[in-house]
Amino acid sequence: MNNDTNLKIKDFDPIRQPLSVEIKDICAIPHGLSEISLGLYKFSKVFFCGKIVSIDDDEGCCVYTIIDMENNSDTIKCINYNMNLSSNLTLLEELIVGVTGKLHYNNNQLDVIIFSIYEITDLNEVNVIKWGARLAKLEFESGLLNLLYDNPFQFYGVKGYSKFSMKDKEVTTDCNDNENSSVKKNIRALSKRIIMHLKEMEQEKFTINDITIFFQIPVEQICRAVEFLEYNGNVFLNDEGYYELSC
């Protein structure tokens, strides 16, 4: 029988991948933990939606208390350390928002450090996010995705999944592998540039926004490079919401 390592999806890294969740899933995380366990994987980055019920200022940081749309007793505090994220966005109480962030346990409380936040105006999007979260939970807990990537042809004819077993997908495999390899090389190169810049400037703390402004590179690329550095232990996120060099 295969061990857990062999059953995992090749090249899938849950440390970098935000998991679609519902707020009630976050509230169900055991005390003292800052990650969600589903099947063989542990996720610390999450994406969810909810309604803002209060907005507070904590030493210059904006703290949103957000409730689950279906169960008002489930709430989570979301902390925005990077005020540039909301400089062009006015968020008020009672607004529905989508949030991407990192689970963070501090002072006996689980919070979410915000990477991005935006207003949701179409309630259909709320339903899409909700059912996407439930589907992700089902697929990871049941090991369905592991089976899908291990042998996609066994899903031929299954509604919603048969497209993954199309033989013409084999034709593009080499092309996709080359493309993925190129992307990974670019991320590694950018991560090295970031480390060199920080050391040259003798800067031990930084934010994503700091690096984006300096390099004038799309924030998505900067995020991936910093995630690569975090994964490899070169940087870490401190309790203040800043990244720090650990090398």
Q: List pLDDT tens digits, range 3-37.
A: 454 556 666 677 778 889 999 999 999 999 999 99
Three-state DSSP at 153 gives helix
Written as one letter, the residue type at 101 is G
The residue count of the chain comes to 247
Residues near 91 by Cβ (< 8 Å), separated by ≥ 6? 52, 55, 64, 97, 117, 119
Residue 8: what pLDDT?
64
d(CA 9, CA 20): 18
What CATH architecture applies to the domain 4-142? Beta Barrel (2.40)
Angle, vertex CA 46, rays to CA 63 and CA 218, nearest 5: 85
Q: How many helices (H) and strands (E) are present in the chain, helices listed first?
A: 7, 11
d(CA 32, CA 110): 8
Residue 150: what pLDDT?
57
Residue 178: what pLDDT?
54
Residue 59: what pLDDT?
78
Is this prediction's pTM over 0.95?
no
d(CA 186, CA 198): 18
Under 8 Å between Cβ of 243 and 206: yes
Residue 63: what pLDDT?
92
Whether 4-142 and 176-245 share one fold: the answer is no
Fold topology of 176-245: Arc Repressor Mutant, subunit A (1.10.10)
Q: Where are the domains of the chain?
A: 4-142, 176-245
For the chain (247 residues), the mean pLDDT of every run of 10, in chain order, is 53 78 95 90 92 89 92 92 63 91 91 91 90 87 66 56 47 50 81 90 85 82 86 80 80
